[in-house]
């Protein structure tokens, strides 16, 4: 059994993990950078260790420092590390070092993280296991000339993507062959700058799809289940802003079919822990794009409709326990929607760090606010601008929308500008209400509303 966990993260997700640990009677260790010494996750943990400055020139900073985090485990006697999302959560090298120190990593094996971290190898593995993938060769591109030949075969438009991609970076859409040289070069440069790996690949650009992802859980005994889908179609710059479950465009029959394909693939590759298999759902077909081998930001919508704590399940799996439920005992209920509250000023989404004088969290039946804000907290400029996630759960989609609108009105993060007003507008939109949108809808909507 695990009795002490170190959380290698910050912000709302660190707090969220601490909450589950407390409910399980597990002691927690918060690590933090110097700017985070007054952060809520630090206040809530049983023990804390400062692991350095937020940014150190030319070196991996605190939350990215393998040695600082592993040392913090050794000093405090934490037996396991929960990585949250981002930072080191999908870093196979870190996982290997953690395991070398006989510390449990709460997540999949380094082998699976590496396999899925390279999007080309992920597509190769998934297609061999019978998962439908976005059309395109599962090979890296050597030159724009080679890319032109492939594009001719699969048909324009196509998209050049970074094999090591993440966070919507390193992607370039190509509409015709004259655009290739530039797109190839820009994607490659962006990939080197962001990921230190310039490998790029090509796939068909699916122009009006929806982003639908399947949540899976698997243990070390060959048991795997799926917990339905999340629809994350509302995106800006390939980044999710609103997520819901179930998807308004998926029937229970389709859900069961794709769920079965996913659990089959997961079982066959020997994966364990939580994971998300991401698809573009285009003209009634699922097309695999990538797999995230960690907890997702948007996991609370799944927790809401299934009544399952995914972090508790991750911990149980890492502790060597079998899954405590079977597929046929999983029954979703109602509808849940999450919006990401970013400290950003509209209309241009400019980051707005600074001191929060008044914070008021929405509440009431079916409302969950995951945030580490409090009165007097200063949002540092060093990290991304996500300061909270507001989740509404009700009997059906229209009631969940009504509940979310009501909750957004209650939210106060004074005087910091947030993305809350954006959602108040979107939730009123006829096309949103009728679920008539694709992955490009929000970009157009933002242009029409904010110019
Ligand atoms: P990242 O890992 O950077 O998040 P993904 O491969 O998950 O990248 O893609 C993120 C988003 O980019 C998708 O949800 C979708 O909106 C868009 N996208 C990715 N691949 C394609 C494609 N082949 N066609 C159309 N849009 C795509």
199 within 8 A of 182, measured Cβ to Cβ: no
Q: Strand 210-218 to strand 273-282: parallel, antiparallel, or no bridges (unpaired)?
A: antiparallel
Residue 280 has pLDDT above 90, yes or no: yes
Using most ligand atoms within 8 A of CB, pick from 134, 137, 168 the residue to mutate for ligand 1: 168
Q: Is 86 in the pocket of ligand 1 (CB under 6 A)?
A: no
Residue 302's pLDDT is: 99
Q: Which two tokens stand for residue 409?
A: 């009105």
Atom 18, ligand 1: residue with shortest CA distance:
238
Q: Which two tokens stand for residue 149?
A: 């030949």
Residue 56 has pLDDT above 70, yes or no: no
Q: Is 167 in the pocket of ligand 1 (CB under 6 A)?
A: yes
The CA-based angle 113-23-406, given to 5 degrees, is 85
Q: Is 332 in the pocket of ligand 1 (CB under 6 A)?
A: no
Q: Which two tokens stand for residue 429?
A: 């939109």
Atom 22, ligand 1: residue with shortest CA distance:
205
Q: Report how far residue 263's alpha carbon sits from residue 176's, in angstroms, rounded to the nearest whole number.
A: 38
Residue 113's SS3 state is helix
Average of pLDDT values for 195-204?
92
Q: Report how far residue 246's alpha carbon sits from residue 226's, in angstroms, rounded to the nearest whole number.
A: 13
| pLDDT band, very low/low/confident/very high, at 165 (cuts 50, 70, 90) | confident
Q: What are the respective helix, strand and coil percentages of the chain, to the nearest 5?
A: 35, 25, 35
Q: Is 278 in the pocket of ligand 1 (CB under 6 A)?
A: yes
Average of pLDDT values for 293-312?
98
Contacts 24+ apart (CB under 8 A), 14-18: 14/39, 14/41, 14/84, 14/372, 15/40, 15/41, 15/44, 15/370, 15/371, 15/372, 16/311, 16/370, 17/82, 17/84, 17/311, 18/44, 18/45
- 229-242 pLDDT, tens per residue? 999 999 999 999 99
pTM for the structure as a whole: 0.97
User: Residue 4 has what DSSP assignment?
Assistant: E
294 a catalytic residue: yes
| pLDDT band, very low/low/confident/very high, at 58 (cuts 50, 70, 90) | low
Residue 276's pLDDT is: 98
Q: Which two tokens stand for residue 176?
A: 């015709």
Q: Is 236 in the pocket of ligand 1 (CB under 6 A)?
A: no
- 425-451 pLDDT, tens per residue? 999 999 999 999 999 999 999 999 987
Using most ligand atoms within 8 A of CB, pick from 134, 166, 238 the residue to mutate for ligand 1: 238
List the alpha helices (DSSP H) in 143-179.
144-154
Distance (Å) from CA 140 to ligand 1 centroid: 17
Atom 11, ligand 1: residue with shortest CA distance:
238
Active-site hit among 294, 312, 368, 399: 294
């Amino acid at each position: 059994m695990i009795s002490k966990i170190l959380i290698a993260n910050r912000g709302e997700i660190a707090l969220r993990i601490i909450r589950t640990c407390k409910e399980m009677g597990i002691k927690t260790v918060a690590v933090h950078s110097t700017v985070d010494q007054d952060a809520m996750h630090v206040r809530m943990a049983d023990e804390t260790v400062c692991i350095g400055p937020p940014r150190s020139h030319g070196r991996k900073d605190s939350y990215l420092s393998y040695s600082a985090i592993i040392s913090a485990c050794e000093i405090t006697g934490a037996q396991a590390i929960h990585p949250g999302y981002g930072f080191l959560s999908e870093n196979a090298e870190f996982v290997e070092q953690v395991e070398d120190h006989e510390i449990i990593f709460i997540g999949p094996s380094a082998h699976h993280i590496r396999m899925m971290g390279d999007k080309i190898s992920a597509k190769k593995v998934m297609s061999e296991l019978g998962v439908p993938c976005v059309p395109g060769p599962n090979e890296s591109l050597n030159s724009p000339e080679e890319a032109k030949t492939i594009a001719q075969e699969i048909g324009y438009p196509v998209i050049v993507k970074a094999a090591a991609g993440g966070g919507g970076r390193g992607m370039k859409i190509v509409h015709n062959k004259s655009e290739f040289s530039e797109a190839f070069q820009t994607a490659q440069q962006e990939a080197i700058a962001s990921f230190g790996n310039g490998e790029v690949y090509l796939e068909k650009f699916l122009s009006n799809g929806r982003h639908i992802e399947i949540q899976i859980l698997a243990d070390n005994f060959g048991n795997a289940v799926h917990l339905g889908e999340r629809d994350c179609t509302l995106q800006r710059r390939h980044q999710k802003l609103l997520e819901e479950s179930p998807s308004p465009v998926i029937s229970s029959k389709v859900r069961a079919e794709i769920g079965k394909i996913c659990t089959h693939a997961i079982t066959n590759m020997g994966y364990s822990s939580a994971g998300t298999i991401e698809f573009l759902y285009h003209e009634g077909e699922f097309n695999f794009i990538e797999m995230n081998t960690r907890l997702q930001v948007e996991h609370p919508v799944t927790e809401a409709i299934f009544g399952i704590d995914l972090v508790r399940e991750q911990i149980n799996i890492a502790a060597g326990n079998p899954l405590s439920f079977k597929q046929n005992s999983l029954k979703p209920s109602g509808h849940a929607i999450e919006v990401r509250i970013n400290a950003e000023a509209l209309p241009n989404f400019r980051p707005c760090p600074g001191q929060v004088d008044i914070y008021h969290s929405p509440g009431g039946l079916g409302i969950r606010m995951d945030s580490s804000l409090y009165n007097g907290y200063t949002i540092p400029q060093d990290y991304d601008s996500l300061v909270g996630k507001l989740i509404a759960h009700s009997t059906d989609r229209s009631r969940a929308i009504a509940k979310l609108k009501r909750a957004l009105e209650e939210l106060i993060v004074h005087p910091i500008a947030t993305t809350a007003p954006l959602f108040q507008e979107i939730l009123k939109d006829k096309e949103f209400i009728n679920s008539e949108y694709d992955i490009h809808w929000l970009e157009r909507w933002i242009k029409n509303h904010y110019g």
